[in-house]
Structures are given as structure tokens and as C-alpha cells.
Structure 1
Amino acid sequence: MKRNEAPVLPNEPAELAWGSDIAAAMLHHLGIEYVALNPGASYRGFHDSLVNYLGNEKPKMLLCLHEDHVVSIAHGYAKATDRAMGAILHSNVGLMHGLMGVFNAYCDRMPMLVVGATGPVAPELRRPWIDWIHTAKDQGALLRDYVKWDDEPRSPEAVIEAFLRGAQLTHTEPRAPVYICLDAGLQEQKLERPVTLPRDRYAPSQPPSADAAVVDRVADLLLGAKKPLLLFGRGSRRQDAWDLRVRLAELTGARVMTSIRERAVFPTEHPLHAHAPLNWLSPKAKDLVREADVIVSLDWVDLNGFLLQVTRKTEEIVATIAHVSLDSHIHRGWSMDYFGLPPVDVPVMANADRFVAQLVTTIEARGDVKPRPMPISQSRPEPTYAAKPGEEIAPRDIEVALAKIRASLPLTLAHVTIGWAGDVYPFRGPLDYLGHDGGAGLAAGPGITIGAALALKDAGRIVVSVLGDGDFLQGCTALWSAAHYEIPALFIISNNRSNFNDELHQEAVAKRRGRPVENRWIGQRIDEPPVDLAGLARAQGVAAEGPIRDHARLEQALQRALEEVQAGKPYLIDVHVAAGYANPPFSRGE
């Protein structure tokens, strides 16, 4: 973040003198680098403390034009780092704007410190009308069902404990956002007594390992299997964890599957990686599951839904199944993001990366175990476009163009569209791909991209996202923050001028009811007139071009765009694509 917004400060450092100074000091104490915000009077005291007490340093403020972007930028930052960023939301109204983003991050199991405000809680401090409608008796109730914890501290000492506990909980697996609501009255209260900030002794606990007997049992299963299958789901961004996943697969000769919904966890060019990263199971993938005699799921999200695509009676799957996950610690009754109950023979309550390390250590300690021979790596053909020259660009062709131009560039895909094929653009490291938005809430893609680019600004990587036009249109004003703070990222819009996923749903309903499928487009198309997406980007201060309608121009535009991003600037390309998906999603009832 290059832009300098240093405040004018007195020669002497500001004293810890106000209630809100404590909240700001705690963010600094916890090592929070950035806070995204959209201003509001409910936290004006806190805002002052961030500027005039901390000097807008550690954390730096990132101004956003909408609360959606506040949360999605913090979400993208966490996806790249596994660390929390601050997301500040104004009162009940700002919080309600940001709720969808919080739900996305919750489903994605990402850490985040969401700080809100209410009040003043004391009625005698409230201004007429506005402070009354912006005061809530239990503001945390708005999001309590999809955060890990929330609090509304009532004293300076309680503010300290709230931030300590919140940072502990959001970084303890399974991770999820936490919410701290600051009373406007307490923020603007002069401290009546000295307040001592804590020492560094409140770190989050290390994620748990598995019992040794369980590790031995799963090791025995993998080594005794004829056709073992490893499902790598959620995983950290650490290179050592990535290397251990590869080592486990090679020691056991297990075929590997990964999910396009989750972040990159395994090299997709490896000969043991049996299929392109999955959104839905292809016939080939279903056959691999049917043939497996042992399946080890390592924090795979929706394991039962995965098996359901092979057979409607998942309890009849013949393979012995081990499932490694801590996710049940966060399951509650409001959200169904716990998914269907899978048939599991060996449940393992442990962190997946730690369990992989335990398995590798155990297997290597058995001196007579030799790595099994791997399948012969097939030569990969040069990626080719699905559409012929002169035809409308196919959605998959954006992936092909990126693969063609990528060479040795250190690209990070921060987001891709729902129909991403995944078969021509390989993932070679843990920062190559950062997964989907968690809760499938539109408007998140632009902000997630900016948050990832902010986190990786000094990592020597080029952040790229491929976004749908609907996602971009709902989140386009996030680009102003990228322009203002000079956050380099490339936004590629796969623009089919439609809410196309819903067209498929309307077609499915029409077929079941014997009605005309030709009407599926009504109320779905974003056309006549087409929206000038490049114009929207330029209106936010981001250089843009398009619409691009042919492959040669697409490759040329990508070359120009990557040069601009390497020079430290955000850039957008609007690519007109044909309606359709490389991998069509399921329609309910199929």
C-alpha cells in the first residue's frame, strides 16, 4: 500500500487517555497490520484513536466505499496469510451491510477481527433520533450464528480482555470471524484511572494432533490398501505443509483429489494428482472413488456431498473411510454448513496438516516401507481454445489464455468463476490459488482480490482474479480502494451478460414442469444495454479495457495488463464470453 496518509501529530506521543485509545492500542498490540473501514459516527472515538493516538500506523486504515468491501478485503487478506485483519463496521446499519461478507468468511473458516459499535448505551448520552435508531440492545444477535464469538465490553479492562480473547479465538482452529461491539459512550469516555496493557502471553493454542493409536491405524490402512485415495481439502499456506502432503502421497502411492472450492493444497501436475481440481465429480472421478478401498479425507468440505455424487446411499460405499477434521467444534443449528453426515469408519479430531505430518513420521519410522511406484506422468498437450477463431470466446478460454501467457510469472489466482475447468492451469505452490468465497455470496470477488493483493504486495507475486459479471457488478466500487491505495491486481471479468447460473435453474424447473425452456433467460440477462464494465472500473480510477471478443485481443490485453500490475497498478479486462460452463453445476433435483 503505497499511498501515505500520515496525520499531523504533536511532537510528544499521544497519551492513552480515552476509552477508544484502548481498543486502538489493542489492535497495535495484537500485530494487526491493516483495518478496512467505511466511516460512521458510532465509532468516531475509535477512528480518532487510530489516527491521532496511533498515527495511522500498525494498523493502517483502508477506506472502502461500502461495508461489503470492508469485510471481503479482510477475507482476502486472511486467505493469503492465515492471519486476521481488522474490519470495522458502523453501528447496526453498517453491520447489516457487512453481514454477507461475514457469512462468507465464516463458511470459509477464515480469521477476522470484526469491530463494530453501538450506542451510546447510556440513554442520556444519545442525540435525538439518530443515536436511538443506531443503538441496539444486543447487536451481536445479528451475526451470532455465523461468528465464532462476540462481545460488547462495558469497561476499559473489558475492552482489553475482549480483544485478547477475540484474537485467540479467531486464530484457533477451526478459525472463523469474531465480533467486538464498542459502546460509543465508552469510546468517548475519559479514562479515570491508569490502564495497563497486557504482556505477550495470550497467544492462540496450537492446533491439536491425533492420538498415536489413531495415527497407526490410518497408516496401516493406507499401507495395506491396494487403491488408496487421499482427499486434500482445507490446508494452510505453509510450504512445509505442502511438501508433507506430497510426501504422504508418494510414500503410500495414493491417488489424490483436491477441490476447486478450496485453496491450492497439492501440485496439480503431480502424477498422483488424479483429476483436475473438483467442483463436481466427472465420470472419471466417480470411477476413482468407486475403485478406492481406503479413502482418507483431510478436512474435505462436504464429504457426504462428495460421496453422494457416486451413490445416493453413501453408507454403502465399500471403502474404509477416515475423516480428519476439527469442524464439528464450530457446528451449530442455524447454518447447515455442516453438510450431510458422512459414513466414517475412523473419525480423527485433529488438524489435517498436523495429522499429515504425524502420518509421514510414522510411516517413515517403519524402516521397511518403500515409496510405491507412481503412475507414469502423461505429457500434457499445449492448451487449446475451446472456441474456434471467429467464434465467441468460451469461458474456459480465459483459463487457456492465462496458461499460455503465464510462463514463469508468479501468479496468485485470488478467485475464479463457478464454471472454472481447472484442467489447463496448474497449481504448483500454496499461493497459486486462494479458493472461492466460502458462502457463495455475490459481491465478494473484487474485495477478496484486493485483500489478497494487499497481503502479497511484498511477496513478489502478481494477484489475478477471474470474476463473473454479476459478482463484479455488485462489488465494483471496491476497485476505488485498489486505485486509491495503489494496490496492484488484475481483474478479469468473464462477462456472459447474464445471471447464467440461475438460467440453468429456471431451465431445470421448466423441464420438470413440462414448460418452455426457451423462457429461462427472462429476468436473468444483463444486456440491452450491456453494462460498460471497463467504464465502471475507470470511474473508480482503475485502468481498464474491453469488451474483448476474440482470442488474439485477449492475449494482447493480458500482456498489457500484467505489465501494468507488475508496475504496481490495478487493471481490469472485460471479456465477453459465451453463456455456459466448462463444468456445469448441479441443479437441485438432479
Structure 2
Amino acid sequence: MASVHSTTYELLRQQGIDTVFGNPGSNELPFLKDFPQDFRYVLALQEAVVVGIADGYAQASRKPAFINLHSAAGTGNAMGALSNAWNSHSPLIVTAGQQTRAMIGVEALLTNVDATNLPRPLVKWSYEPASAAEVPHAVSRAIHMASMAPRGPVYLSVPYDDWDKEADPQSHHLFHRNVSSAVRVNDEELERLASALSSASNPVIVLGPDVDAANANADCVTLAERLKAPVWVAPSAPRCPFPTRHPCFRGLLPAGIAAVSQLLEGHDLVLVLGAPVFRYHQYDPGQYLMPGTRLVSVTCDPLEAARAPMGDAIVADIGVMASALAARVRDRNHPLPASIAETETVEQGEGALRPETVFDTLNEMAPADAIYLNESTSTTALMWQRLNMRNPGSYYFCAAGGLGFAMPAAVGVQLAEPGRQVIAVIGDGSANYSISALWTAAQYNIPAIFVIMNNGTYGALRWFAGVLEAENVPGLDVPGIDFCSLAKGYGVHALKAGTVQELQGALTEALASKEPVLIEVSTTSPAK
């Protein structure tokens, strides 16, 4: 009879999963013993970093990522990273070792008490198998639950003595199962929406991250060009669904109610595709939309559809819907919107570099298909304005605003996309949340470039302090951190840049390298 251990690895193998992201404890050792040679184990030094690497890998590869954490303590450490994965619809299979079944009841040390409730509400499904024989079935269910729309993280707690037990002899039926969840609305409703878009006098499109996740970017370009419609990206979007130099592109919507309403005023029909309606942030009260404006959203997530405060909603596969709408809308007899792609030239004086200068230099020197990860939150708007992001999968951001995402996610994205250059742009405050990701990059020789924007302060927090009239508060500055020394301590080559010439030289060296590189750039805070 096959063991639960061998059966589970064969199940993962047959389902196309050959990488385990983890940070093990004693409860996890029985799962990891006799680790198969055709599998890869990616070690990180802290659990939030583990989840961040796996999150980046899952998003960039568009495949589920398998994670192994240490009981309750490791799960707790990972919760902040799980919040980003939940909001970005990342298909993560999070497993955690549980104490042996004989000692769960007495709550021996390393027991995950009430294990299934611990990660909620940040997972789609959470389970602890009732018996050892059920473990392969639970793993199979986790794979399919994570992969079905809307994709998202799931959680599985497994007692460590289960792995040596006999598996259900019929577990082989799980090996080649496929579960399809593509949803398309009926032709009548599809034609009704296409007709409404075609006949609108001034339609506008708002695109979200699920467009990029579905690789539907090109269909959305066709849709916008046929409608001659301006295209906004949804507030706080964690991915880039539309080319930022296209004439229809208008930029990233702000995350305030009144601000969104003002920018969409005058449009009689708003199509929101692949995004919540809307993910607001700062309190900016006002009308959701001005009178006379109709909104229709298409989302893969029933929860997003249900909680929207306005408009009609359709739950469907984003890729299928983008393609169908692009094929059905009429080519409106209007000119394309006037391009706003030209950016204002800024004067770079003596002293620290302006963020605009850094982004202009990156845009000039990076490969055309470069992938950017952003956790310099105070410069997010400038990044969208000044970087030419033209390909699918070109941009990733922390979907729930949880800092510590970009540095490990850059490692995971580079693992998934070895043929493209990954560049993570990270604030000096943000970098400290997950600096140990550099160790994983060095140990596995993952050639991502980490650009640290060092201005000695939490820039986004300083901006918010002004908005909230709470400027006289402690804890906003983070001076005295030498990121080059930290990087070298983790085994990563590091360079400092205080001038444009030094930044150009550092980027030239980093882009030619076949190893991870950190570039610490002295920057000013963005102008308000």
C-alpha cells in the first residue's frame, strides 16, 4: 500500500506542482523527509517572506503555488502576506504541520488549536482532514479550490504523524482530475451589454488586476479602440491591465469616492472589468457617481459583485468576457482620445534624486519587457505616469496595502519569469518588512534587481498625516539604515547611487549581471 506521503507527492506531480515554498519547523519534517529529487524546495527565512515569494510566483506563472508553514506560529507570521494574496486572487495552497493526532486534544506544544479558524477570513477554504487516509483527497480539493474562480489562497492543517500512514487505495483517481470553472453569460445578456456600450454617447472603461491575471490585456485594447473610449485603471490596482502609453490610457484612478466621481463625470456608461467597485482608501465623501451615469461591472468574484455600492454586476470569466465584448461592440465613428502619454520634464538639481528622475532613468534603460514590483507607495502615481508598461504581467503591487510584499514577490516573479528582467522599486520604510528575502535571492541566484528609494522617512504616511491633520506624531522617520551593508550581509551585491550618472552606472552593471543586485538610491520625497 502506498503511504500518504508518497501519494501526496505523486498527486502534486501529476497536477503540475513541483515547487514547495517554505520555512520548516519540527511538525513539517515528516512531510519533507525523502524529498523527491524532481521537486524544488525554496527556503525563506520568515513565513511572511515565504508567502510573498509564493504569491509573486503564482501571479506571474498563473499557476497555484504550494506553501508549507510551521503550525500556528508560522501561519500567524504569514497572515499579513495572506491579506495581499486574498485581495489579489492569488492561487496559494497553504499547508501547515499540526501536532500528532494523539496529542492535539491535550494541546501539547506546537498544537494548532482550532486550526481551521486561524487563517480566516483570508482564505477561501480551510480544513484539517478527519483521518490520515483523507489527506490526499484534502490536498486535491485544496488545489482545485485555489484554482477555481475567483482564485485565492486555501489552508490545510495536517497532523505530522499522518504522512507515514497508508493512503486510501483509491487515491489514484485524484491524480488526473481537472476542474473547469469558466463562466460566461448567455448570448442575450452579452448582446445587451455590447449594445449598451456601442450606443453609449460617452463610454469609459475601468480595468482591474483580474484583466492582467486572465491575460486579457490585448482584448481590452481592442475593446477600447473599437469604442474609442478612455481607459482608467481601478484604484490601488495591484497589476497593470492596459499599456500605459496607449492613446486611450488615462492613468490610475484615485482611491477616494468624490475623486473617482469627479473624474468619471460626463460619461453616460462606465464599464468596470476585472476590479471591485471600487477599492477606496482615504475618506473622501461624495456621490459614488454623478446623476446620469450608469455603471456595469464584470467580475470573477461573487463577493465583489455583491458588495458593490452601485451599478449592475455580472459574475463571469474575465478573459472570456473581454474577448466576447471586444468581438461584439460596434466600431464607433469617433476619433481615439487624445494621448496624455507625454510626461513633464523635471529639473534635477544637486543633491538627492527626485523620484521622477529615478523612474525616467529606469524607463530609459530597462528592457522593454521589464517587470516592475512597486512598494514605494508614496511614488506610486509617478510610477504609473512615467514607466512605459506595455506587456501583460508588467506590474505588481501589494493588493491589500500590506507592506513587505514587493521584495519577496520579486523573487517569486523572477522564478516564474526567468526570461524577463524583474525590477523591484521599494521604499526604505517598506524594505525593512521583508529584507531577508535578499537571502533567498542570493542562495538561489535569482537575478532580480532591488532599487531602494531611500529618503529616510515613511513617505506615504507623511502624506496621510497631512491629509488627516495629524502631522505632529512620532514614528514617521527611519534614518540611519545602510541598505548596501544589509544586502552584503545577506550575500547580495549592492551599489549606491546619489547622482544620475551613478544610477545609470549601477543599472548598467545590474542589468548585465546574472545575479541579484541591490541599488540604494538617495531620493527626495515626492512633491505634494
Q: TM-score, normalized by length of structure 1?
A: 0.82
Letter matched to residue 300 of structure 1: A
Contact 2:248/2:339 (CA < 8 Å) preserved in 1?
no
Matches within 5 A, 1:309-348: 312-314=286-288, 316-329=290-303, 341-344=308-311, 346-348=312-314
Contact 2:198/2:331 (CA < 8 Å) preserved in 1?
no
Query: What is the CA–CA distance in structure 2 between the aligned matches of 1:245 and 1:25, rounded to whole Å?
Result: 39
Q: How far 1:196 sits from its partner (Å)? A: 4.2
Query: What is the CA–CA distance in structure 1 between the aligned matches of 2:254 and 2:427, rounded to whole Å?
Result: 16
Equivalent position of 1:203 in the other structure:
178
Equivalent position of 2:327 in the other structure:
361
Equivalent position of 2:138 in the other structure:
162
1:70-111 CA-to-partner distances (Å, cap 9, x unmatched) read 100000011212211111101111111111111210111110
Residue 227 to residue 315, structure 1, CA distance change in 2 (3 Å)? closer
3-state secondary structure, aligned to 1:290: coil
1:440 is the counterpart of 2:415: no
1:535 is the counterpart of 2:485: yes
Letter matched to residue 352 of structure 1: I
Q: How far 1:183 sits from its partner (Å)? A: 0.6
Gaps of 5+ in 2: none
Query: What is the CA–CA distance in structure 2 between the aligned matches of 1:557 and 1:537, rounded to whole Å?
Result: 15
Q: How far 1:484 sits from its partner (Å)? A: 0.6
Letter matched to residue 327 of structure 2: T
1:293-351 CA-to-partner distances (Å, cap 9, x unmatched) read 11111122342749996x712264421111111323479xxxxxx8x63210x321212
Query: What is the CA–CA distance in structure 1 between the aligned matches of 2:499 and 2:222, rounded to whole Å?
Result: 43
Q: How far 1:45 sits from its partner (Å)? A: 0.7
1:491 is the counterpart of 2:440: no
Match of 2:243 among 267, 283, 293: 267
Match of 2:121 among 145, 163, 175: 145
Contact 2:53/2:408 (CA < 8 Å) preserved in 1?
yes
Matches within 5 A, 1:375-414: 375=336, 378=339, 381=342, 384=345, 386-406=346-366, 408-414=367-373
Query: What is the CA–CA distance in structure 1 between the aligned matches of 2:110 and 2:320, rounded to whole Å?
Result: 45
Match of 2:478 among 523, 526, 529: 526
Q: How far 1:200 sits from its partner (Å)? A: 4.9
1:482 is the counterpart of 2:441: yes
1:249-271 CA-to-partner distances (Å, cap 9, x unmatched) read 11222211114623121122211
Letter matched to residue 533 of structure 1: F
Contact 2:48/2:80 (CA < 8 Å) preserved in 1?
yes
Equivalent position of 1:366 in the other structure:
none
1:90-141 CA-to-partner distances (Å, cap 9, x unmatched) read 1111111111111210111110111111111212999xxxx81211342121
Query: What is the CA–CA distance in structure 1 between the aligned matches of 2:389 and 2:215, rounded to whole Å?
Result: 16
1:222-246 CA-to-partner distances (Å, cap 9, x unmatched) read 1111110011112355796222111
Query: What is the CA–CA distance in structure 2 between the aligned matches of 1:104 and 1:211, rounded to whole Å?
Result: 33
Letter matched to residue 478 of structure 2: I
3-state secondary structure, aligned to 1:179: strand
3-state secondary structure, aligned to 2:295: strand
Residue 149 to residue 79, structure 1, CA distance change in 2 (3 Å)? same
Contact 1:36/1:70 (CA < 8 Å) preserved in 2?
yes
Contact 2:238/2:398 (CA < 8 Å) preserved in 1?
no
Query: What is the CA–CA distance in structure 1 between the aligned matches of 2:166 and 2:175, rounded to whole Å?
Result: 23
Match of 1:456 among 405, 417, 430: 417
Contact 1:393/1:576 (CA < 8 Å) preserved in 2?
yes
- Aligned pairs, number: 524
Letter matched to residue 308 of structure 2: L
1:339-384 CA-to-partner distances (Å, cap 9, x unmatched) read x63210x321212222122223333xxxxx4453433655855773
Query: What is the CA–CA distance in structure 2 between the aligned matches of 1:535 and 1:144, rounded to whole Å?
Result: 38
Contact 2:116/2:157 (CA < 8 Å) preserved in 1?
yes
Contact 1:81/1:237 (CA < 8 Å) preserved in 2?
no
Equivalent position of 1:11 in the other structure:
none
1:76 is the counterpart of 2:26: no
Match of 1:247 among 204, 209, 222: 222
Q: How far 1:195 sits from its partner (Å)? A: 6.0
Residue 302 to residue 294, structure 1, CA distance change in 2 (3 Å)? closer
3-state secondary structure, aligned to 1:553: helix
Q: How far 1:575 sits from its partner (Å)? A: 0.9
Aligned Cα RMSD in Å? Answer: 2.8
Match of 1:257 among 232, 241, 259: 232
Contact 1:79/1:110 (CA < 8 Å) preserved in 2?
yes
Query: What is the CA–CA distance in structure 2 between the aligned matches of 1:314 and 1:72, rounded to whole Å?
Result: 33
Equivalent position of 1:467 in the other structure:
426
3-state secondary structure, aligned to 1:262: coil
3-state secondary structure, aligned to 1:474: coil
Matches within 5 A, 1:97-246: 97-123=77-103, 132-187=108-163, 189-191=164-166, 194=169, 196-198=171-173, 200-237=175-212, 241-246=216-221
Letter matched to residue 563 of structure 1: A
Q: How far 1:412 sits from its partner (Å)? A: 0.9
Query: What is the CA–CA distance in structure 2 between the aligned matches of 1:173 and 1:239, rounded to whole Å?
Result: 11
Gaps of 5+ in 1: 1-15, 332-337, 364-368, 512-516, 585-590
1:35 is the counterpart of 2:15: no
Residue 378 to residue 357, structure 1, CA distance change in 2 (3 Å)? closer
Query: What is the CA–CA distance in structure 1 between the aligned matches of 2:60 and 2:222, rounded to whole Å?
Result: 23
Residue 360 to residue 329, structure 1, CA distance change in 2 (3 Å)? same
| Bigger Rg, structure 1 or 2 | 1
Letter matched to residue 374 of structure 1: P
1:117-167 CA-to-partner distances (Å, cap 9, x unmatched) read 1111212999xxxx8121134212111211000111133441121111111
3-state secondary structure, aligned to 1:170: helix
Query: What is the CA–CA distance in structure 2 between the aligned matches of 1:452 and 1:161, rounded to whole Å?
Result: 29
Query: What is the CA–CA distance in structure 2 between the aligned matches of 1:361 and 1:302, rounded to whole Å?
Result: 25
Q: How far 1:541 sits from its partner (Å)? A: 0.7
1:44-90 CA-to-partner distances (Å, cap 9, x unmatched) read 110104x1xx22x2x31011111111100000011212211111101
Query: What is the CA–CA distance in structure 2 between the aligned matches of 1:498 and 1:308, rounded to whole Å?
Result: 23
Residue 218 to residue 239, structure 1, CA distance change in 2 (3 Å)? closer
Letter matched to residue 569 of structure 1: E
Deviates more, 1:89-98 or 1:148-157: 148-157
Query: What is the CA–CA distance in structure 1 between the aligned matches of 2:465 and 2:354, rounded to whole Å?
Result: 22
Residue 237 to residue 193, structure 1, CA distance change in 2 (3 Å)? closer
